[in-house]
Copies of this chain bind each other. A is one copy, B any other.
Amino acid sequence: MPEVINLQRRYLLAGTAATAVAAGTFVPGANLRASEGSDLPEYVNWKEPETLIIHSDNTLETKRSAFGTASITPEDRLYIRNNISPPPSSIVEDRDSWEVSIEGVAEPRTLTLAELKTMGIETVTMVLQCSGNGRAYFDHDPSGTQWQLGAAGNVMWTGVPLRSIVEALGGVAEGAEYVTGTGGEELPEGIDPLSILVERSVPLEAMEDILLAWDINGEPISLAHGGPLRMVVPGYTGVNNVKYIKKIAFTEEESPARIQQTRYRLMPVGEEGGPQWPSVWKMDVKSWITGPLDNRGAGPVLVTGVAFGGTTPVDSVEVSVDGGETWHQADFVGPDLGRFAWRPFVLAVDLEPGNYMLVSRATDSEGNSQPENFEPNQSGYSHNGWRAPGVEIAVS
C-alpha cells in the first residue's frame, strides 16, 4: 500500500524514507477516450478548444484534465448539450427586454428581465450535470452521446428566486403540483411542436431553490448556456434547467412534451420510455478523479478530484489507488459553496513504480455512498458508480 501523506505533517521531499510498496493487481475499469473533433461550432467559438471534446455541434464535453482542482468551472470550459439549436443571438443583444410569463399563480403576468432585476437577488453555486453524464460507462451500449464525466461543471448562478416572484404574484394556484418551464427556442415548421419543444416539469417542492438566473460566474449568461435568462433548478439534472426561459407555469400535470413524457425516464434495459417510469430529476452523490491522469515517475503526487451530493451536501470522499482494495479519506480543498456545489478534494500519496487504479467514492450527509457499479437503465442516465471511471496509470 502506498504511503498516504498527511499534508498537515512535515512534507517529505526527495530523500524521504517512505515505506511505499507497489500497488497490487486490480480489475481494470473502462478508460474510454472520446474522439476529438477539430473546430468549435460558431456559437461557442469563444470557448477554449483544448479543454473540450466535440461530440457534435450541440454536444461538447469538458475534458477530464480541464477540471483540475477548481472550485468553479469557467464558462469557457463548461460542457454544452442542446436538445435543439439555440435561438438567434439577437436575444442577448437587448437582455433587459426579455420577457417571461408566469402562469398558474393568483395574478398571472408577463415580466421583463429589467423588472425581475428589481424583485430580488440570490447567488447559488451548483453542479450542472447532463442526465446522460457517464453514459459511456454502461455495458449495454445505450444510444445517445457517449459522455464520460465531462458533461458536468460547478457554476455560480445569480438571479431572482422564483419564490419571490410567486409571492409578488399572490402565490401558487390551488392544485398545482409542478413547476413547468418552457424554453424560448424557435421550433422548426411542419413538425409536431410537442415532439421537439423544450418544456420540463419538476415537482413543486423544487420551487424553494429555483432561480431565474441572468448571470453565470459573474457575467451575463451566454446564449449557448441559456442567456439572457435561464431557469436553474439546483440539484436537478441539466435538462431541467430550461434555457431561454419564456414561460413558467404552475401546473397540475407534467408537461405533455415528449422531452417530459417519454424521454429522460429511467426504465429497465429493453423498455420504451413513458410516463410510468421515474423522470430524471434529482442527482445522486458522485465523485471522480481529476488527476493524475497520465503515467508518471515515482514519488509524491497529489491525487485530486471533485465530489458532490446532488441535493444533499457531500460529506466525505475516500480515494483508492488500488482499484478499491484499500481506501483513504481525502481532504476537501477550497470553500464550501453550499449543498448543491461540488467540492474539490485531495489526497497526497507517494507512489513507487507499479500499476495503479485511482478511484474515488463520495458519501453524502445522509449516508448515501456511490455504488461500485450502477444498475443499467435503457437510456444510460444518472451513472454514479465509482469503479467504471477509474484511472489507470503506470508509475516508473
Contacts and interface: CB of A to CB of B under 8 A. Distances in A.
Interface of A: 7, 10-13, 68-74, 76-77, 117-123, 125, 156, 158, 164, 167-169, 215, 217-219, 299-302, 304, 333-335, 337-338, 344, 346, 348
Given A335-B335, A338-B335, A69 B300 contact: no
A346 B117 CA distance: 11
A123 B299 CA distance: 24
A158 B167 CA distance: 40
Contact of A69 (B70, B74, B158, B334): B158
17 contacts: A7-B164, A13-B119, A13-B168, A69-B158, A70-B217, A71-B158, A72-B218, A76-B219, A77-B219, A117-B302, A118-B302, A121-B333, A123-B335, A123-B344, A158-B334, A335-B335, A335-B338
B218 A158 contact: no
Contact of A302 (B121, B123, B167, B348): B121
Contacts of A71: 123, 156, 158, 218
A337 B70 CA distance: 14
Nearest to A338: B335
B167 A118 contact: no
Contacts of A300: 118-119
A125 B168 CA distance: 35
A30 to B, nearest CB: 27
Given A158-B334, A335-B337, A219 B123 contact: no
A13 to B, nearest CB: 5
Contacts of A299: 118
A158 B7 contact: no
Contacts of A302: 117-118, 120-121
Residue from A219, A338, A348 whose CB has the most chain B CB atoms within 10 Å: A219
A216 to B, nearest CB: 10
A68 B215 contact: yes
A218 B304 CA distance: 14
